[in-house]
Homo-oligomer: A and B are copies of this chain.
Amino acid sequence: MTVRVTGRPPGRRKVTSRAELEQVAFDLFWEYGFERTTVEDIAFAAGIGRRTFFRYFPSKNDVPWGDFDGELDRMRRQLRAVPAEVPLLQALRTAVVDFNRIAPGQLLAHRRRMELILRVPALQAHSTLRYADWRQVVAGFVAERTGHPAAALFPQSVAYALLGAAVAAYEQWLDGGQDDLAELLDRSVLALAAAFSAA
Interface residues of A (CB under 8 A from B): 87-89, 121, 124-129, 142, 151-154, 156-161, 163-165, 167-169, 171-172, 175, 184, 187-199
Contacts and interface: CB of A to CB of B under 8 A. Distances in A.
Given A153-B191, A161-B165, 12 more contacts: A124-B129, A125-B126, A152-B172, A153-B172, A156-B172, A157-B165, A157-B195, A159-B164, A160-B164, A160-B165, A160-B168, A192-B192
Contacts of A127: 128
Contacts of A161: 160-161, 164-165, 192, 195-196
Contacts of A172: 152-153, 156
A88 B128 contact: no
A19 to B, nearest CB: 25
Given A125-B128, A164-B160, A164-B163, A190 B195 contact: no
Given A199-B89, A199-B197, A157 B124 contact: no
A195 B154 contact: yes
Nearest to A187: B153
A87 B167 contact: no
